A and B are shown apart, each in its own frame.
Chain A
Amino acid sequence: MSWVAQTLNSTLGRKLVVALTGLFLCTFLIVHASGNTLLFRGDGGQAFNEYTKFMTHNPFIKTVSYLLYTSILVHVVYTAILTFYNQKARPVEYAYSKPSANSTWASRNMGFLGTILLIFIVIHMKTFWYEMHFGNVPIVSYEGQEYKDLYAVVKWAFSQWWYAVFYVISMVALSFHLVHGFRSGFQTLGANHPKYNPLLSKLSWAFGIIIPAVFASMPVVVFLQSL
């Protein structure tokens, strides 16, 4: 095996891949969450539709989006490999164990939380990404320019109560995944310093609460408006 393959197949190398892809996904979440707040403009969706056209046509954004799809895939595959070997490392479980005495629930259930996120991502991509690219999205025009009216699709999706509830639950899972994952990713990269640890912990909490809260506010507000 080459030294690169050897490194990527070690427990530490696998964790490095998970941390790098996970933290890259975190930066994407910032862009995605802030862009989507255009839904709240109150302009009948014009700013949001202009933004989605830009995001699906700009060559730089398109390149980054392929990096993003790859990151999700690699993150899922590598966490699945890790989880498989981690379970093999303790073939016989304790008869009685009290893990809450020494660790947080989120940190022990990243696989469960991640699975919810994976199901969410698949459904989310079907509703919006697939429709935007291959579906029948109505066309609107602003100042003579034609745009796909993704805003209408969003309004339709979030006006169904079960869809809005599914979104909010998924964002709760995202919150738990991030509160542990953000700090954990930095620790995996080797960042553990008495000067910066308090800042990293606070950032992890802030990130893990604010980003999912912004996302969750969208289905809630759109659903309430649809009543």
Chain B
Amino acid sequence: MKLKLRIWRQKDANSKGKLVDYDVDVNSHMSFLEMLDELNEQLVEKGEEPVAFDHDCREGICGTCNLYINGRPHGPVRTTTCQLHMRHFNEGETIVIEPFRAKSFPIVKDLIIDRSSFDRIVQAGGYISVNTGSARDANETLIPKPIADEAFNSAACIACGACVAACKNASAMLFVGAQISKFALLPQGKAERKTRAEKMVAQMDAEGFGACSNIGACSAECPKEISMANIARMNREYFGAKLTSTNL
């Protein structure tokens, strides 16, 4: 299938970028990343600089392949870019490809962004300090199935950043809500429960992410279907912690 690509090219963090047009002829069974691989091979053959884009697992679990495709994070289907296939596009279509845009996700080169702000939020409180023992000991802590499932749903977040990309405020609340929730729901997470909520929210604010306007674009675009209930839970955890924790 013949396609016209309009891709954001930017030499480095400090340069000004612009959209550049490319024509490609690809197989509809290709994944979106394979399509870009094909384009890059052509560019290298012509002696041009290939398009820099991030990817790792190519099986929808690492969250690295963040591209803003035709006005939506990860494109028209609710999945990661590596799991998106060219059959979802039409013959002759123009596809606009941009990096995720947020002050807290600075562009490194072309379509590659720096998401270390997410890492710093996790470092601020996304851990537990109690010894949980070996695998065998895990069965000693009884957790009702519905709660385990709920925590697992939150833990499914792959830190891809689509929520930030989709949000008109570049808010990271769905991501942070999921991080706080997966610990708050489980007994192992109780030890640092209040401090965690306070520290992760403080770090999120320090990184410069926006606030939540509850528009729901994050959840609608999240490839792991993290729900808005995670944001409501984060609010409860945070306000509760602020009122009752001993951190002055």
Q: B-contacting residues of A (Cβ < 8 Å)?
A: 3, 6-7, 10-16, 82, 85-99, 101-104, 107-108, 110, 180, 183-184, 187-192
Contact = CB atoms under 8 A, between A and B. Distances in A.
A35 to B, nearest CB: 30
B201 A10 contact: yes
B71 A187 contact: no
Contacts, number: 137
Contacts of A104: 215
A212 to B, nearest CB: 20
Contact of A86 (B169, B229, B236): B169
Contact of B169 (A16, A89, A101, A184): A89
A187 B219 CA distance: 14
Nearest to A11: B211
Given A11-B210, A82-B211, A192-B231, 10 more contacts: A7-B242, A12-B239, A86-B211, A89-B208, A90-B169, A94-B68, A97-B68, A99-B168, A190-B233, A192-B229
Contacts of B216: 102-103, 107
A94 B101 contact: yes
Interface residues of B, number: 49
B221 A102 contact: yes
Contacts of B102: 89-90
B14 interface: no
Contacts of B210: 11, 85-86, 88-90
Contacts of B96: 95-96
B231 A187 contact: yes
A36 B238 CA distance: 40
Given A89-B103, A102-B166, A107-B216, A97 B71 contact: yes
10 contacts: A10-B201, A11-B173, A82-B211, A82-B213, A88-B103, A89-B104, A89-B171, A95-B19, A99-B217, A188-B212
